[in-house]
Structure 1
Amino acid sequence: MCAERLLGDVALAILAKAPIPGRAKTRLIPALGPEGAARLHERLLRHTLEVACAALPPERITLWTALNHAHPLFLELAERHGIALRPQPEGDLGARMHYALAQANGPAMVVGSDCAVLTPALLGTCTEALEDHDAVCLPAEDGGYALLGVRHCDPRLFDAIPWGTSGVMGETRERIAALGWRLACPATVWDVDRPADLARLSVAYPTLGAAP
């Protein structure tokens, strides 16, 4: 079960696809094959839930599902950790992130499932940052971000963002500045997105990076 330590009233939305071969971690298929990429996605998702549940109580965590909302992995994780499951809506990544944050009706953060370096301490730091900042981000080395948190959700942070490019974080910074918001960026992190990331994962996290 998730930790009982309450860090404010900040909600956490985790966006994840079902680990369906050929549909999950598709950019890693050339290196791992469809089955291997799906298994790695499952390991990363399990890791993300363990991290989240070490930092926040279960009632503040929602796993937003895609591809197969009733996939056995989702059902298992919900039962094990006591978290809520909700289906991601239609739309691009920005629309889905905005929807998940807006449903919290208050301070909230959103993450994916491919940031292996996310820790309970770092997640707690991001949570606490929202006490005196309007937004918090964990910029990624590739120019995107692994986490975004806001005190109040605004669709302008997500509309017409060039998702999947190196300009995501820069554009998001500009949107936040235009809103007059205070932004905290406690750390820069890296995601597991491309074949080049696999060697780094195997060194830093041997269990996660284990051969499929």
Structure 2
Amino acid sequence: MAQIIIIAKEPVAGRVKTRLTPPYNPDQAAALAEAALRDSLLTVSATPASQRILALDGLPGSWLLPGFVVIPQRGTGLDERLAAAFSDAYRLRPEAVVLIGMDTPQVTPALLGEAVEGLERHDAVFGPAADGGFWLLGLREPDPSLLLGVPMSHPETGKLQLDRLDRAGLTVHLLPELTDVDTAADAVAVAEQVPSSRFAATLRGLGR
């Protein structure tokens, strides 16, 4: 059994989903971010895991569900924050770790369950994102060197991260590609995939 981390920002206007503005204003972008985070928390809650962790930049709010251990993010660049989240979770409980972000409200318990099970047979699990990044990374034995220095928010981030895992000699289980919600077009496309989600309902409430 693995533990699952969501790495997220507190959904505060002006600090999250800035690429959605325009067409949305900062409050609307924050509302979409909170909805995506709520959907992600629900999905993780519905997935069997040894521990559920929220690695948070900011403060928890009313959107937080019971059963999550909240830890602060550490580091400056995203590679440092990801490496620290893995290390901190592994220190709390020395078991395999699956990490996702808050940008894929369409993720399902089945997909996360596949990631957890994948770490029983592989050293790593990797979920590529349509924008060239990745939406999930799972490690049986987290090591900061697997992440530190990998360029993030780059068109080839996913390829470079996967290359890093391959060069370390790790066996990798690949998951299906998902779309991160970064742009307004992404938001519409993802909402269409999960029309009953909080994310889709929030988008409809904005008249989109």
Say whether the fold is shared (TM-score over 0.5): yes
Shift of 1:152: 1.0
Q: Does 1:133 align with 2:122?
A: yes
Q: Secondary structure at the match of 2:181?
A: coil
CA distance in 1, matches of 2:187, 2:6: 22
Q: Give the equivalent residue in structure 2 for 1:109.
A: 98
Q: Give the equivalent residue in structure 1 for 2:78.
A: 93
Partners of 1:14 and 1:113 within 8 A in 2: yes
Partners of 2:75 and 2:84 within 8 A in 1: no
Deviations 1:158-181 (A, max 9, x none): 122221112111111111111111
Change (3 A) 1:22 1:129: same
Deviations 1:34-81 (A, max 9, x none): 000000000000000100010135x60111111x32x423xx51xx42
Q: Does 1:43 align with 2:28?
A: no
Q: Give the equivalent residue in structure 2 for 1:168.
A: 157
Residue among 193, 199, 204 paired with 1:208? 199
Shift of 1:201: 2.5
1:1-212 correspondence runs (5 A): 8=1, 10-57=2-49, 60-66=51-57, 68-69=58-59, 71-73=60-62, 76-77=63-64, 80-103=65-88, 104=90, 105-206=94-195, 207-209=198-200, 210=203, 211-212=205-206
CA distance in 2, matches of 1:33, 1:16: 20
Deviations 1:178-211 (A, max 9, x none): 1111001121111111122122133223341323
CA distance in 2, matches of 1:154, 1:109: 13
Q: Secondary structure at the match of 1:98?
A: helix
Deviations 1:82-132 (A, max 9, x none): 211111113211111111111223310111111122100110000000001
Identical-residue share of aligned pairs (%): 32
Give the letter aligned to residue 30 of structure 1: P
Give the aligned CA root-mean-square deviation in angstroms.
1.5
Q: Secondary structure at the match of 2:111?
A: helix
Q: Secondary structure at the match of 2:25?
A: helix
CA distance in 1, matches of 2:47, 2:187: 26
TM-score for both structures, normalised by structure 2:
0.89
Structure 1 residue runs without a partner (length 5+): 1-7
Partners of 1:22 and 1:29 within 8 A in 2: no
Q: Secondary structure at the match of 1:114?
A: coil
CA distance in 2, matches of 1:34, 1:117: 22
CA distance in 1, matches of 2:54, 2:3: 11
Structure 2 residue runs without a partner (length 5+): none
